[in-house]
Amino acid sequence: MNVPLLSDQIKSKFPDAVIAAHQYRGDDTVTIRPESIVRVAQTLRDDPAFQMNLLMDLTAVDYSKFAQEPQGKGGHINAGIALKQPSDIPDANPWPGPATQARFEVVYHFVSLPLKHRLRVKVPVEESKPEIDSISALWGGANWFEREVWDMFGIRFTGHPNLKRILMYAQFEGHPLRKDYPVTQRQPLIGPNN
C-alpha cells in the first residue's frame, strides 16, 4: 500500500498546526497546537481522505513526574546470565516522548470505519492555562469524555455546554489523576477519614 501516513497528510494539510509526528509500535501519532484542535478534528471527520467518524477515546496524561522516579532497584535480571531490562535496550525506533515541556497532554483516538484506520492526536496543554477548545459540537461522545478529563485532570474545555464533575462528587476538591494528588487522600462526605 502506498497510502501516505495519516500523520504526513495532516502535516501537509496543516503545516502550521503540527508540532511533531511519530509512529511507535504501529500507532500513528500526531501532536498539534492546542488552538487548532477544532479545525483539525473537523477536517478529520469531514475530509474524504480521513473519514474519522468515531471518536474512540479522549483522555489526558499528566507528564509532570515523567521519568523522574528512580528506575527501579535492580538494573539487571540475574537469571543465570545478566539480562538487560527491556527499558535499557536501545530501540531501533524509539519513542520520542512528549513533544513539548507542557504538563498535560490531551490525547484523542480517532477511528475511521469506512477506511479502517486509526490516528492518535495529542495536544499539549500548559499547566498555567489548562484550557483547550471543546470538540463536543463535532462528536456527541466528546461531551462526557471532556467532563471526565475536567474531573480527573482539571483541564477546562472552552465551549463545553455542561462542564461539571462526572465521576467524583461536586464537593470533591482537586483532580485525582493529577500526579500530585496523593492516592489515599480521601474526602469523605460522611464518616471518618480513614
Partner 1 sequence: MFAGENFITSKLDDAIGWCRKFSLFQYPFVTACCGMEYMATACSHYDVDRFGAGFPRFSPRQADVLFVVGTISHKMAPVLKRICDQMAEPKWIVAFGVCTCTGGFYDNYATVQGIDTIVPVDVYIPGCPPRPENVLDGLIKLQDRIQQQHGTGIRPVLTPEDRARERSFTV
Partner 2 sequence: MEQPQKTVQQQLETATRSYDPNTGLETRDMLLNIGPSHPAMHGIIRIVAKLDGETLKDIDVEIGYLHRAFEKMSETVSYNGVMPYTDRLNYVSPLINNMGYCMAIEKLLDLPVSERAHYIRVIMSEISRVTDHLTCVGASAMELGAFTVFLYMIKAREYLWELVEVVTGARLTISYCRVGGLKSDLPEGFAEKTHAAFAEVRKVLVEVDQLITRNRIFFDRMKGTGKISKEDALSYGMTGPFLRSTGVNYDVRKDFPYAIYDQVKFEVPLGTSGDNLDRYYVRMEEMEQSMRIVEQCLKQIPGGPVAVDPQTGKPMEASEMVDRAKMGQIDKITDKIAITDPTLEGSDSRVHDKILVSEKRVSLPAKEDTYGNIEGLMNHFKLVMFGHGIRPPKGEVYFPVEGANGELGFYVVSDGTDKAYRVRVRPPCFTIMSGLHKLLVGEQMADMVPTFGSVNMIGGELDR
Q: Which residues bind partner 2 (CB under 8 A)?
A: 24-27, 29, 53-57, 59, 61-62, 66-67, 69-74, 77-80, 83, 85-89, 91, 94-95, 97, 107, 109, 113, 116, 118, 120, 136-137, 139-141, 143-145, 148, 152, 161-162, 165-169, 176-177, 183
Q: Which does 48 bind (CB under 5 to 8 A by kind): partner 2, partner 1, none?
A: none
144 binding partner 1? (CB under 8 A): no
CB nearer to partner 1: pick between 128 and 169: 169
Q: In b/e form, how buried is each residue of 151-172, taking b as 16+ CB within 10 angstroms? A: bbbbbbbeebeebeebeeeeee
184 binding partner 1? (CB under 8 A): yes
- Rounded to an integer, what distance in angstroms lies between the CA atom of residue 104 and that of residue 66? 11
Q: Which does 3 bind (CB under 5 to 8 A by kind): partner 1, partner 2, none?
A: none
173 binding partner 1? (CB under 8 A): no
CA 86 to centroid of chain Cα atoms = 24
Largest CA distance in the chain: 62
Strand bridging mode 104-112 / 117-125: antiparallel
Cell numbers given for 2: 502506498
Q: How far is the CB of 174 from partner 1 (least distance, A)?
A: 9
Q: 108, 120 in Cβ contact below 8 A?
A: yes
By CB under 8 A, name the binding residues for partner 1: 168-169, 176, 181-192, 194
